[in-house]
Each structure stands twice: as C-alpha cells, then as structure tokens.
C-alpha cells in the first residue's frame, strides 16, 4: 500500500486518533497539526525529554508534519527546566519553545550581545558571539531553539539551500537533545557513545563546527576515520520487486531512479515540463555541484508517468512523503518475500546499481561519469572496482593499446581503456572485448 501525497487516507488507520483517545493528553483537547490544523494524526511512538519524561509524538496524515502532543502546565514547566540545561551562558535564557513569539526575525533578536568573553567551563569559549547591535527592547533572553533558528537564518544568508539548512538544524537538535550545545566536551561524549558510523559522526562534527563559527566559539575536534565500504548492489530482480509492489507514483519514482541513476533530490525536482514524452528524454536539474543532463528513458517509464495525475508542476511528492511511503512498502515487501536484503535498498542504491551496470555494459568510465553528472572522475572510479568484484571473469580477452604522451593516454581513457602499468616509459592500457 503506497502513500500518495494527495491522499492522506492512504496512511494506515492503525494509530490514527485524536487526543481524547490518548491517555496522556489533556482531557477534552483535540490534537491538531500545528501546520494545517488537521485532526487526522498518526501516533508515532514517544520522545524522551531531557527531564526523562516521555511524550507522545504524531505524524499528520494530511501534510506529514511530525510533532509532539500539546503540553499541559506541569509538563510545560518540566520542559522549561529541561531546556535550561542547554543554555549558553551570557547569551541565552529559558523560553517556552511552543510559544508563537519564539521565532526570531534576526540574529540580533535571537542572541543579543554577549559579554566580551564567556567561558562555559566545558572547553567552549564564546568571544562576542556576534558583533551585532544591542539586544532588542525588553532584553528577554531566547531559548536554544531560537538560537538554532537564528543559525538557520545565518546559513541562508551564506547561500546555503533550504534543504541543507533543514538538515543542519535536524543534526543540531539531535545533539542538543542528548548533550549540552554550550559544552564541547558534552558533545564529544555524545559522539563517542552514539550508534553512528564514523562517516556520519564526521558530518555531525562538521555541522557543529559551522555552528561554533556562527556563535564565535571554538573547540578541538575529534578525529574519526571512516572505514571505506563498497556500496551495496542488489540484483535487478530485487529492484523490480520493490517497483512492482509499490503504488503508481512511488513505482514511477523508483523506475525513474533505476533508469537514470539520478539522485533522489534531482528526481524530486523533476517538473512535468522537464519530461519530453515524444522524444522520450528527461532534463535533470543537478544538485551537489553536479552537471545538468538530458537522459533517455524507456517506453515503460513514459507509460508510468503518463497515467499519473498532474496536481502541480512537480511530478513526484516531497522527500518526507516519498521516504515514509518507501520505508513502509520496503518493510512490507521484505517480510512478504522473506528477503531481508530489500531492507538495505535505499533511494541512492538505485544510483549505485545504475552506475555499476552501465560500466559493466559499456566499459566506458567517461560515459558513466557523464551519466551521473560527476565533475571529478575520481568519484566515478569506485564503480570500476564494484563491477570487477561483482563480475569476476575468467579467461578475459582484452584489446591492448600503448601511450607515450599525455594526449594519447587521454584519448585512450576517453575510449574506455583502463590504465594497467608503465613499461620502459610507455603506458599500457587495456579494454575488455
């Protein structure tokens, strides 16, 4: 059962309830989505407050916003006490995070002007966090959430995209929920204990370092060395099983990822005007510094796109909607087919599969580089090793070529030849027949 962005009823009915059906919600009060005011909400487990108390969390069945239950007076006080443990000395205080007046309009409002030097005692030193104007009238100190929102505003002014800003803030909220943002040693302890891969921990470190740059702090960064792993490459049958078991819109999205090797962000940017139904090609709007591409698609995908309703300029739903639907369907199919390997498939797995299969078919690394939109061929070379590991040939036959100059070597590489070694000053290349 797929979840269509336009059909909130596609969400499972299990867990749909108003607050009057929830034991720990204020009696007689209906839970409403803070964004769209819909009363159709889906219970999504519990969230543990820093005070140790658990509160019910929900997902809106209409707009898929995640939020927690309304807090009564006693819980609100507990939340204030818990929030105060994450305050920055000299620049922040405690304020109700649910207040409609808590959103800052500028860095000045959120931070004010701290003293010339504040040592929090945890290894983090704030030296005039922001050289801004005096704090606004009233001088009310703001909460941690206000500081994070102000940090988001600062990132936007630095040219960061909205999606990137949301990602940064989500990481900082996770750190703040498990440590003290003003105490770098507390953050290090959280990173040491959290169950994350080293690559993800380095992402957290980079985000926190950017945050410290914003507030004028500094710290001695921990150094995690990620273990390089080959990407997981499923079989085509496993990808097709996911596509066949999904709803119309999700199936079209997965088929699009399979045929084009596009990133999920590039796929979700696709507009109806980017699809040429007559020529059977699509225009890819790049992300992450990649190159724009025009790629061919199959008649099958054209037909899948043709039957989709056009409710806006975008072909596919938002990432939140797509991710919720995909994870739900993936879990159901993995259990139904008794194949736990399906749980390892992500949106990005389709890109890995396409690149590996395309190199296996063409043996042309330049072609794969252009297909993926890479600017640096080093990012593409990983698929050469993946292809060799998956397709171990015996008694291979090759075309052999030599090159004595850089120009000759470049031409051979562009023709799909791979470098083997040097011999007497001559470079040897080969290409599988």
**Residue 1's pLDDT band (cuts 50, 70, 90):** very low
What does the pLDDT average to over 21-42?
A: 62
Task: Give how far the C-alpha of residue 67 lies from the chain's centroid of Cα atoms, to the nearest Å.
Answer: 19
Between 43-47, 164-168, 201-205, the lowest mean confidence (pLDDT) is in 43-47
> At which residue do the structure tokens 């039957």 appear?
307
- Count CB atoms within 10 A of the CB of residue 114: 21
Between 155-164, 185-194, 271-280, the lowest mean confidence (pLDDT) is in 155-164
Structure tokens at 184: 């770098």
Q: Is the pLDDT of residue 338 over 90?
A: yes
**Residue 212's pLDDT band (cuts 50, 70, 90):** very high
Between 140-149, 286-295, 297-306, 400-409, the lowest mean confidence (pLDDT) is in 140-149
Q: In this predicted model, which residue has the larger pLDDT, 231 or 75?
A: 231
| CA nearest neighbour of 280 among 260, 309, 263 | 260
Q: In this predicted model, which residue has the larger pLDDT, 27 or 136?
A: 27
Task: Give how far the C-alpha of residue 405 lies from the chain's centroid of Cα atoms, to the nearest Å.
Answer: 43
Determine the pLDDT at residue 7: 37
Determine the pLDDT at residue 414: 83
- Count CB atoms within 10 A of the CB of residue 220: 9
Q: Is the pLDDT of residue 101 over 90?
A: no
The Cα–Cα gap between 203 and 164 comes to 12
List pLDDT tens digits, range 227-266: 888 899 999 999 999 999 999 999 999 999 999 999 999 9
Q: Is the pLDDT of residue 391 over 90?
A: no
Domain boundaries in the chain?
8-73, 89-215, 236-353, 360-432
Structure tokens at 238: 């496993």
| CA nearest neighbour of 47 among 64, 26, 24, 27 | 24
Determine the pLDDT at residue 63: 61
Determine the pLDDT at residue 396: 61
Calculated CA dihedral for residues 5, 6, 8, 9, nearest 10 degrees:
-120
Q: Is the pLDDT of residue 107 over 70?
A: no
Q: In this predicted model, which residue has the larger pLDDT, 94 or 391?
A: 391
pLDDT exceeding 70 applies to what percent of the chain? Answer: 73
**Residue 66's pLDDT band (cuts 50, 70, 90):** confident
Between 226-235, 243-252, 363-372, 395-404, the lowest mean confidence (pLDDT) is in 395-404
Q: Is the pLDDT of residue 160 over 50?
A: yes
Q: Is the pLDDT of residue 140 over 80?
A: no
Q: Is the pLDDT of residue 90 over 70?
A: no
List pLDDT tens digits, range 301-333: 999 999 999 989 999 999 889 999 999 999 999
Q: Is the pLDDT of residue 223 over 70?
A: yes
Q: Is the pLDDT of residue 53 over 60?
A: yes
pLDDT exceeding 90 applies to what percent of the chain? Answer: 43
Topology (CATH) of 236-353 = hpI Integrase; Chain A (1.10.443)
What does the pLDDT average to over 211-215?
A: 91
Q: In this predicted model, which residue has the larger pLDDT, 144 or 175?
A: 175
The Cα–Cα gap between 173 and 179 comes to 10
Determine the pLDDT at residue 35: 75
């Amino acid at each position: 059962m797929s979840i269509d962005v336009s059909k909130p009823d596609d969400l499972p009915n299990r867990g749909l309830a108003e607050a009057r059906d929830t034991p720990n919600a204020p009696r007689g009060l209906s839970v409403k989505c803070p964004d769209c005011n819909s009363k159709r909400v889906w219970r999504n487990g519990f969230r543990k407050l820093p005070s140790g108390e658990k509160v019910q969390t929900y997902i809106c069945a209409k707009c898929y916003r995640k939020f927690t239950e309304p807090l009564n007076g006693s819980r609100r006080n507990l939340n204030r006490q818990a929030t105060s443990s994450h305050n920055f000395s000299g620049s922040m205080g405690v304020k109700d995070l649910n207040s409609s007046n808590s959103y800052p309009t500028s860095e000045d409002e959120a931070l004010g002007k701290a003293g010339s030097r504040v040592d929090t005692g945890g290894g983090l030193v704030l030296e005039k966090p922001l050289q801004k104007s005096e704090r606004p009238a009233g001088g009310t100190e703001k909460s941690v959430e206000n500081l994070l929102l102000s940090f988001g505003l600062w990132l936007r002014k630095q040219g960061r995209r909205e999606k990137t800003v949301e990602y940064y803030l989500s990481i900082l909220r996770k750190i703040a929920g498990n440590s003290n943002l003003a105490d770098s040693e507390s953050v290090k302890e959280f990173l040491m204990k959290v169950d994350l891969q080293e690559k993800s921990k380095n992402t957290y470190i980079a985000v926190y370092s950017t945050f410290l740059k914003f507030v004028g702090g500094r710290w001695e960064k921990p150094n995690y060395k990620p273990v390089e792993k080959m990407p997981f490459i499923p079989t085509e049958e496993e990808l097709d099983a996911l596509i066949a078991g999904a709803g119309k819109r999700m199936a079209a999205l997965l088929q699009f990822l399979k045929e084009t090797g596009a990133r999920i962000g590039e796929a979700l940017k696709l507009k109806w005007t980017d699809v040429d139904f007559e020529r059977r090609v699509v225009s890819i709007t790049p992300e992450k510094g990649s190159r724009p591409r025009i790629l061919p698609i199959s008649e099958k995908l054209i037909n899948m796109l043709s039957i989709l309703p056009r409710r806006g300029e975008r072909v596919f739903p938002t990432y939140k909607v797509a991710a919720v639907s995909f994870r739900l369907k993936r879990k159901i199919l993995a259990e139904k087919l008794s194949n736990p390997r399906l749980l390892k498939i992500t949106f990005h797995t389709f890109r890995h599969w396409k690149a590996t299969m395309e190199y296996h078919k063409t043996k042309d690394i330049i072609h794969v580089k252009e297909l993926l939109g890479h600017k640096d061929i080093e990012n593409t070379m990983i698929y050469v090793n993946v292809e060799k590991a998956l397709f171990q040939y015996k008694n291979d036959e090759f075309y052999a070529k030599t090159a004595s100059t850089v120009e000759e070597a470049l031409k051979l590489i562009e023709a799909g030849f791979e470098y083997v070694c040097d011999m007497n000053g001559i470079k040897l290349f080969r290409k599988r027949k």
